Structure 1
Amino acid sequence: MLFNNLIGELENKIGVKFNNRKYIEVALTHSSYANQYKNVKFNERLEFLGDSVLQLSITEYLFNHYEDKTEGELTKARALIVCENSLYEIARKWSLGKYIKMSKGEELTGGRDRVSIQADCVEAILAAIYLDKGIEFVEKFIIENLKDTIEKAINNEIVLDYKTKLQETLQKNGEVTIVYNLTKFEGPPHRRKFYTEVLIDNSVMGNGEGYSKKESEQSSAKEALKKLEDLDEK
């Protein structure tokens, strides 16, 4: 599919029609693609701007809507809302990896699925929207796309490190043995997928997968936590 057609598809998906498509074209261009050609702009400068637009929008929203929260509580919530994982969740909803222009080499090493590349691209898109539509439009867009994340952050429902959370939860009442076993891996070296199980006192409590051992362990710990929560509710 031609890049212009892809941009049109993404515009429909996110609900934004750009007056100046150059902004979104640059936002979707990774540095690896620009390195192959002369005079091609890529999205790192837009990431820089988008980060500030995001921080300001979330800060203002939290300040105006949660008057009962302290400065420390708001700072903690903001950090969870604007973190890489939260931006990656937005990217996944948009299937953003499909639309990023990158080199073949980057693509072959899993670039389209890389968390950092997609999260950075979200920031670049926010900057593109800001430049094309103005601050009021982009603030509304940001809040609409992060409203669930904001609510979870305010209610302390976001966990970034599931392994630590699992350990803290289990060891409240004494020592518990937690072991992570790599059960298998598959795929070529540049796109290897790992599968991990977590055993609690020798019983399998969760299974996870990911494109790194760390990611698969976190995934298995997340499943174990969910099972523990379900047991507590019964």
Structure 2
Amino acid sequence: MKIPLTEVIKKRTGIQFKNARLLETAFQHTSFVNERAAKKLEHNERLEFLGDAVLEVIVSDFLFHEYPDKPEGQLTRMRAQLVREESLAFLARKYQFNRQIRLGKGELASGGNERDSILADCFEAFLGAVYLDQGMDVARAWLDESLLKPHRTILTKINLDYKTLFQERAQQKGAVQIRYELIEQSGPAHNQVFTMGLYLNDQLVSKGSGKSKKQAEMQAAEQAYALVDEKGNIKCT
């Protein structure tokens, strides 16, 4: 028996939605809705628009009071880091939104439920739904727990340069040759997905995917970093 989305979300976030349909909309991607046009479902883009505004207000208010001595320029940069795609996708994965988001067959087949852009949009749509269903106080409290209290840790995780970290670890045993090579490029021109391979001394160590080659390289480096111990030995290939 399938567990209702309201119960799944309550377990993961602690939020009990009153409007189940509103919650479902937050997890419905345009590709899913377009394939079911006859059912007249609503996709999550309007909720994403609202959630984006709620997110900016709450994060701005938090940073303003948390860092009273920092100038406007620094606060702006910090806010940009906290609300950027990678940060929100990180949180979406933490709450396993990637398991609940509804995608069209093509989007799902291309790994859309792990794509940062889709997950970040879903996170914002969910926040917009929380705001409509529960009000600003609950939205603020949830964002405080999910993003603001651990914001320093989140910024550290997101800003790790895995390409540099992998290079430093791989060179523990001496000079090595590291290169990144495009393995696959798929999707329409406006929403392409790149898959990059990381090669260590001409041996494929890992693969990574992303909306840009740089993002895909970073994911490949993160995967490779987990495979190399502190002495530069590959744990597995």
TM-score (norm 2): 0.73
User: Quick one: distance in 1 between partners of 2:102 and 2:50?
Assistant: 20
1:87-118 deviation digits (Å, cap 9, x = unpaired): 11111111212111222232222222222111
Letter in 2 for 1:57: I
User: Quick one: distance in 1 between partners of 2:42 and 2:142?
Assistant: 25
Q: For the Cα contact (< 8 Å) 1:58–1:78, is it kept in 2?
A: yes
Counterpart of 2:27? Answer: 28
Q: Quick one: structure 1 residues 40 and 96, their matched pair in 2 at CA, closer, same or farther if it must change by over 3 Å?
A: same
Q: CA RMSD in A?
A: 3.9
2:217 matched to 1:217? yes
Q: For the Cα contact (< 8 Å) 1:81–1:150, is it kept in 2?
A: yes
Decide which moves more: 4-13 or 29-38: 4-13
Q: Quick one: structure 1 residues 7 and 103, their matched pair in 2 at CA, closer, same or farther if it must change by over 3 Å?
A: farther
- Give the deviation of 1:119 after TM superposition: 1.0
Structure 1 unaligned spans of 5+:
170-175
Decide which moves more: 207-216 or 113-122: 207-216
- Give the deviation of 1:10 after TM superposition: 2.3
Q: Secondary structure at the match of 1:76?
A: helix
Count of residue pairs brought into register by the alignment: 215
2:186 matched to 1:180? no
- Give the deviation of 1:182 after TM superposition: 4.2
Q: For the Cα contact (< 8 Å) 1:208–1:218, is it kept in 2?
A: no
User: Quick one: distance in 1 between partners of 2:120 and 2:161?
Assistant: 18
Counterpart of 1:172? Answer: none
Q: For the Cα contact (< 8 Å) 1:208–1:219, is it kept in 2?
A: no
Counterpart of 1:103? Answer: 104
Which residues of 2 match residues 58-207 of structure 1 at below 5 A? 58-147=59-148, 150-152=151-153, 158-159=158-159, 179-182=178-181, 196-197=197-198
Q: For the Cα contact (< 8 Å) 2:207–2:223, is it kept in 1?
A: no
Q: Quick one: structure 1 residues 74 and 198, their matched pair in 2 at CA, closer, same or farther if it must change by over 3 Å?
A: farther
Counterpart of 2:172? Answer: none
Q: Quick one: structure 1 residues 78 and 197, their matched pair in 2 at CA, closer, same or farther if it must change by over 3 Å?
A: same
Identity, % of aligned pairs? 36
Q: Quick one: structure 1 residues 6 and 135, their matched pair in 2 at CA, closer, same or farther if it must change by over 3 Å?
A: closer
Decide which moves more: 89-98 or 123-132: 89-98
- Give the deviation of 1:21 after TM superposition: 1.5
Letter in 2 for 1:70: P
Structure 2 unaligned spans of 5+:
169-174, 188-192, 232-237
User: Quick one: distance in 2 between partners of 1:94 and 1:57?
Assistant: 20
1:18-71 deviation digits (Å, cap 9, x = unpaired): 112122111011111211223211100000000000010000001111112111
Q: Secondary structure at the match of 2:4?
A: helix
Q: For the Cα contact (< 8 Å) 1:55–1:82, is it kept in 2?
A: yes
Q: Quick one: structure 1 residues 55 and 153, their matched pair in 2 at CA, closer, same or farther if it must change by over 3 Å?
A: same
Counterpart of 2:4? Answer: 5
User: Quick one: distance in 2 between partners of 1:34 and 1:153?
Assistant: 32
TM-score (norm 1): 0.73
Letter in 2 for 1:27: A
